[in-house]
Chains A and B, each alone.
Chain A
Amino acid sequence: MFRSVTSRIVAAFLATLVIVVALVSFATFSYVRGIEHDQTDKDGLMAARQCAILMGIIDDPNVDLSDPDQYEYYHQALRNMCIDEEMGYLYAYRVDRAAGTCTYLLVAAADEEEDKEFVRSCPYGAVSHRELTDAEVRALVGEVTQEAHEYDNAYGNTLDWVAPVDAFDDDVLAASSYPVNLQRERVSHTVLSIIVPFVLVTLLLLAVELAVLRRYVFRPVRAIADEMRRFKPDKARDIRIPEMPQNDEMRDIVDAYAGMAGDISEYLDSIEALTQERLQVSVELDVARRIQLGIVPGHFELERPCLEVAALSRPAREVGGDFYAVVRLDGDRVAVAVGDASGKGMAVALFMVMVKTLIKEGLAAGDSPATVLNEVNDHICESNPEGMFVTVFACVIDPATGTVTFANAGHTTPLVVGDDARPLKQEIGTLLGLFDDIDLVDETVTLAPGETLLVFTDGVTEAVDKNKAFLGDAAFAERLSARAPFASAQSVVDATTQIVDAHAAGHEQFDDLTALALTHTPPTPAEKSLPVAGAHEVPADITSMDAVKEAIFATSADGPLKRRTTLAVEEAFANVVSYSGAKHAWYAVEEMPSGLSVTLVDDGDPFDLTTAEAPDPEFEDLEFGGMGMRLVRDLASDVSYRYEDGLNVLTIEVFD
């Protein structure tokens, strides 16, 4: 209901007004009533005494009130007196205390109608029976009572005063009478004449006060509120201050508000500028990072004969200094380098790019790792005002032998991963960039087939968990050992990131992570020198049998021999393509002095047909096979088998 301050204040004003008016009215009424009563009593008693004096004049032997003319004369005099004294009634009567009667002598009323009625009902000598009042009793002994006696009679409620008439004997009294309602009217009239102006004046004052409040408080407050609501940061500069010329607290509020709005706008402007600036920096960093990712790809895989290279580089949030490089050299050799330049940001990224380029060029030129790193160190040391440095592990692997020639310039010790993971035995050299006489030397290590050289940066071993604890070299090697052996270079890299991620457990990493795995793989069948001279490679599926058949039939052996040979070879070959999972197959047909010799080679699962137990199914089950192996053994004069370098080599000889 009283939602606004204005309405609350107006309500408070009205409540105050009502209470004050009520209190003032009550006080005024009490006071006026007292004064009015006193005055009426004085007037009433005075009138009664005047009446008594008139009756004293009438007390003359010559006056006979029973004579209507004389009665009328004195009645008129009494009535005039009544009017003059502003009384309702004046009358005189004789009291007979013994008989308990009052006998009226002369009566008059101010009002003409009432006067006639009064005279008619109480003519001279009319008797009424009634108890005497205290005032009448006292008057009979000459005492007057100023206080009016109020009683109810035919003329309504009246106030009566009694005065003794001295001239007659003691039992004649004069009385004046005044209607109560007239007295009340006079009281209320007087009260109203005081209260009404008071209320009006008070109302006027309140109105003036409200107007003043409205002008100096309510309207300014509302205007300020409106202005504040309209406030928009971007338009703050054009703030329109409500017109309030006076120099008061409202003015202070407006000034304070204007100052605050200006400040807010200024702050917003500077925040916007800051945001813009940060955005620009972040865009620049983003570009730098993309450049870095372009130069150091996040993922790399290379497969060469007897060699697999897999690398992963995962920069931290900002541009870092990790890099790796892979260079293909002549004769299947591959050179790799992994480095970690100190620091973060654009400068180190540029430094890293320079170092990487120099190393790559050096390795591509065929120089040994130590030579390349020494030269790069000289180059950096020529001009390195920023004192930047870089750790590098560089190596060249010859897949034919698994020999790795390497040089380590202060880089984290790589791991040799085979059935377990162990640190590479090496002399750790000095990092590049700080000293111009580091003199790195080449060292060598030979990787057995299946072994992997894992080169990584300290982002791996210094990965932190939520308690800021490093993963550590020993723990990393131990966890990697637990997962060994690995099927490929990529699986070593994958295991590395999994171990790091498990340790970090979602905790943001602040260092780049780079891992490069160099696996000396066993030779694939295609790369092997086949143990059979003059073998032809064919797809490992049954259609290749046509070529074998053709080769057999091209020999000079006789028909039945060629057929039997074909049958034996077909049964053996069907077995290879159906069950061994071979991808490659070779065959060689050789004429012997007394027959044919066919050699089948495949890279499937090892299976020795010469010793395997041949199935012997019932006739009813023969439709599902089981005859092939026996056919081979029965048809061939000699069957020999060997498993060599991952290859099945089966020779079937059929003689006449």
Chain B
Amino acid sequence: MTIDTAIDGTQATMAIEGWLDTQTAPQLAKALDGLGEGVTSLTLDLKDLEYVSSAGIRQIVAAHKRMGGHMVLTNVREEVLEVLRLTGVAPRLNIS
């Protein structure tokens, strides 16, 4: 899994590519920690995210809470969306 982070003032964009599973979820946690205090809104570009497990979803929920809801998931693939739905988090996230 690779994470490409771009910061523009208070706005950050993270492009996540590959598998976000139990083993790789800690990488996302680290990347989120690295954003700094100045970032107040976040866009997760999930165009190339092929797989997510509950461990990955935990990190996405954590980021959502940290941004106070100012987080958007874009380009979510169907298979990822299915998991978000199954876990019941899809309605609470901003998915565009």
**Residues of A at under 8 Å CB distance from B?**
542-543, 545-546, 560, 563, 566-567, 570-571, 574, 619-620, 622-625, 627-628, 630-631, 634-635
Contact = CB atoms under 8 A, between A and B. Distances in A.
Nearest to B85: A634
Interface of B: 21-23, 50-51, 53-55, 57-59, 61-62, 65, 79, 83, 86-89, 92
A622 B62 CA distance: 8
A308 B88 CA distance: 52
Contacts, number: 58
B89 A563 contact: no
B22 A570 contact: yes
Contact of A574 (B55, B61, B79, B87): B55
Given A619-B92, A622-B58, A623-B65, A566 B51 contact: yes
Given A542-B23, A567-B51, A619-B92, A631 B65 contact: no
Contacts of B53: 567, 570-571, 574, 631
Given A574-B53, A619-B88, A625-B55, 9 more contacts: A560-B79, A566-B51, A574-B54, A622-B58, A622-B89, A623-B58, A625-B54, A627-B87, A628-B54
Contacts of A628: 54
21 contacts: A542-B23, A543-B23, A545-B21, A546-B23, A563-B51, A567-B83, A570-B21, A571-B54, A574-B22, A574-B55, A622-B58, A622-B61, A622-B87, A623-B59, A623-B61, A623-B62, A627-B57, A627-B58, A627-B88, A630-B87, A631-B87
Main secondary structure of the interface of A (DSSP, over half): helix
Residue among A546, A620, A623, A625 having the largest count of chain B Cβ atoms under 10 Å? A623
A571 B21 CA distance: 9
A631 B51 contact: no
Main secondary structure of the interface of B (DSSP, over half): helix
B58 to A, nearest CB: 5
Nearest to B22: A574
A625 B86 contact: no
A570 B54 CA distance: 9
Contacts of B89: 619, 622
Contacts of A563: 50-51, 79
Nearest to A543: B23
Contact of A635 (B55, B57, B86): B86
Contacts of B21: 545, 570
A557 to B, nearest CB: 14
Nearest to A578: B22
A626 B46 CA distance: 23
A624 B58 contact: yes
A630 B88 CA distance: 10
A635 B85 CA distance: 12
Contacts of B79: 560, 563
